[in-house]
Amino acid sequence: MAQMPAATRQPKPKTEPKEDFFEGPPAATAAPKQISPTRFEDPPPEVGHRVVIHGRGGVGKSSLADLAPGPVVSFDLDGSLGVLQPPHTQRVVGIETWDDLLKGLKDLGAWEKVKTLVVDSGTKAEELALKWTLTNVPANSTGGHATSIEGYGYGKGYTYLADTWGQLLAALDAHAEAGRNVILICHSCTQMVPNPHGEDAMRYEPRLQAPSGGKASNRLRTLEWADHMLFMDFDTAVNKENKAQAGGTRTLYYTETGWAMAKNRMGLTGSDPVVAGSDAIWRKVFGLDAKEEK
């Protein structure tokens, strides 16, 4: 029987790309921004300090802010300066909503001659931020609104509030970039803090929203944002009955302690007594004495 020739595999014909396969050259992109470092011999730009002061009610936070480099202007959200009447501070009143606050802060030209801008208090500002968030951020796809921060579900409310709070920090950043000091006054609360190295401890922290785990925490975000977070407290002593008694003196703490959240970026350590009518603390925090010596 004659053998059939073995089947041979035919090479696959080459196909040319269609002429319309490429739509043309890639779209032109904007030229990269030219960024150059600041030379060490160049004088540093005049940038303001970002400060948070927190402490218990009545400890003297607003009075201390009044002694900062002036002119000083304070957004009196708590309405307390009308009674206190600090001698060096000009009040901004009539702020009733979150939009009012942001509009006032973003009008940089209105504060051109101001050296220190104060928001008193950040705790009240966050309440305005929460009210704005509940009113303007829908809780579901049908446009319904939540009545509380937990109403968004799965922790989303804290994320929305953190986004709103970030607008305030950005507005204060603009003032700092313009060379103006900004001070955010906050009331304190007590918080049990987990300690990976030992026992958990109770400490004073700014009274801002801080969900467990640290995600979307306005408190931690504000700590990271600030150049200085200063804690102010009454001095206490123990009497014969082993009970703590607050005295008339007060102390300002520059750095973290086991019982208070604090920090600074000037290398300051420890604490200093708060002396009524003295700006010594601000001269130290802002490095004013060192600048004058040069």
Q: Is the pLDDT of residue 144 over 90?
A: no
Q: What is the mean pLDDT of residues 191-207?
A: 83
Taking Cα atoms as reference points, which of 266, 168, 267, 281 lies closest to residue 231?
A: 281
Q: Is the pLDDT of residue 285 over 60?
A: yes
pLDDT per residue as tens digits for the range 73-104:
999 999 888 888 889 899 998 899 999 999 99
Q: What is the mean pLDDT of residues 218-230?
A: 96
Q: Is the pLDDT of residue 52 over 70?
A: yes
The pLDDT value given to residue 18: 45
Q: What is the mean pLDDT of residues 23-51?
A: 66
Residue 258 main-chain phi, psi, to 5 deg: -70, -15
Dihedral sign computed on CA atoms, order 105, 111, 117, 120: negative
Q: Does residue 64 contact residue 53 with C-beta atoms inside 8 Å?
A: yes
CATH numeric code, 50-293: 3.40.50
Query: In this prediction, what percent of the chain has a pLDDT beyond 70?
Result: 79
Q: Is the pLDDT of residue 55 over 80?
A: yes
The pLDDT value given to residue 152: 85
The residue type of 92 is V
Three-state DSSP class for residue 60: coil
The pLDDT value given to residue 178: 93
